[in-house]
Amino acid sequence: MSKKHPPYDPWRNPPPGMIAVGEVLTTQGNKGEVKVASFTDTFERWLELERVFVYTDRGQEELFLEKVRAYRGFVVVKFRGIDNISAGEALRGGFLWLPETERPPLPPDRFYIDQVLGLKVETMAGHPLGTVAQVMFTGGNDVYVIRGGEAGEILLPALKSVVRFVDLEAGIMRVELPPGLLDEEEERC
């Protein structure tokens, strides 16, 4: 794994047909375990996984999960063949991927991150705010980073009281802005 930048990024250029399920943050201990920021809603999803993919300067590589445990809001994973701290360190900063076809269906009104990225965001009155450029995981609710609108970057809480309507086919998200999120003149639009 290149220390500079991974070849693919879930926010800007995901590999075709793949979805990111986590990012390797650092090593955990000295036996090859790594601490992962999970991009999935539940820890249980990690217990179902048998393997994930990473992309390195050598191309796509398959990693098989040996052991998974939750630790302080993160997922600690031991991969087969990653048996020491230096092997674990080689994964640091890399994203863990799965084929899109392997993700389970979601209940109505729930969306995967890649489905939300790129949606045009507008107020309920139809005023454009920009597009969803990134999703931040805060530990509480997720936050959508909206960019490209007149107001500049907007950090929008991903709450049902804020996100009122999503049409994936039309590529639109309509929102009810929380009071004080933008200045008063912009909010009236």
Q: Is the pTM of this model over 0.75?
A: no
Report d(CA 93, CA 90) in Å as an integer: 9
Q: What is the C-alpha separation between 35 and 29, in angstroms, rounded?
A: 10
Cβ neighbours of residue 177 closer than 8 Å, sequence gap 6 or more: 123, 156, 162, 187
State the pLDDT at residue 1: 44
Q: Half-sphere exposure of residue 116, counting CA atoms within 13 Å on the CB side?
A: 22
The 10s digit of each residue's pLDDT in 12-23 is 788 999 999 999
Domain ranges of the chain: 18-101, 113-179
- Could you tell me the CATH superfamily of domain 113-179? PRC-barrel domain (2.30.30.240)
Q: How many Å is the Cα radius of gyration of the chain?
A: 18
| Mean pLDDT (the chain, rounded) | 88
Cβ atoms of 117 and 107 within 8 Å: the answer is no
β-sheet with 163-167: strand ranges across: 154-157, 142-148, 128-137, 120-123, 172-175, 163-167
Please determine whether the domains at 18-101 and 113-179 fall in the same fold group of CATH: no
- Find how far residue 132's CA is from the centre of its chain: 12
pLDDT score for 2: 39
Express each pLDDT in 129-168 by its tens digit: 999 999 887 767 889 999 999 999 999 999 999 999 999 9
**The residue to which tokens 């990690």 are assigned:** 46
- Out of 78-82, 136-140, 171-175, pick the least confident: 136-140
Tokens found for residue 30: 């000295």
- Architecture of the domain whose range is 18-101: Beta Barrel (2.40)
Q: What percent of the chain has pLDDT over 90?
A: 62
Judge whether residue 188 has pLDDT over 50. no
